[in-house]
Amino acid sequence: MMTVRSPQGLSVVFNSAGFVARGAHGYTDIYESKGADGQHKGWLAQVPNDWLIEAVRPCRVYNAMHQPAELGKAVLEAINNRELPSYETAKIKIALQGFDARKRRWK
């Protein structure tokens, strides 16, 4: 994945980009990959040499609200650090009354 940024602030993300070749003609060609034979494969774009090219790995973005295990860890940490308001902690305690801690399952 590569992000190309112009001096005027325009940015374009190429998800499949993996290789660049700067030319003497003042432009850079962006390709998907470079083959074992040295040939460039999958031409994507051509940008001026004064544009900034950032090559980074795709990152993982997720919301803890959609990951129950992560959400549980965050709530436990907040309880242990006494960061939750008392009324929120009381609501959690009431909600957990139906859970059997010894058997580790709901009653």
In which domain, by residue range, is 13 found?
2-55
Together in a domain, 70 and 92: yes
Residues 53 and 2 sit within 8 Å (Cβ to Cβ):
yes
Residues 15 and 47 in one domain: yes
Question: Is 48 in the same domain as 13?
Answer: yes
CA 102 to chain centre: 38
Q: Can you give the pTM of this predicted structure? A: 0.47
Is the CB of residue 63 less than 8 Å from the CB of residue 46? no
Q: How confident is the model over 101-106, as a mean pLDDT? A: 89
pLDDT of residue 25: 86
Identify whether residues 43 and 70 lie together within a single domain: no
Give yes or no for residue 65 having a pLDDT over 80. Answer: no
Q: Are 41 and 53 in contact (CB under 8 A)?
A: no
Q: Say whether both 6 and 24 belong to one domain.
A: yes
HSE on the CB side for 66, CA within 13 Å? 3
43 and 76 belong to one structural domain: no
**Number of domain units in the chain:** 2
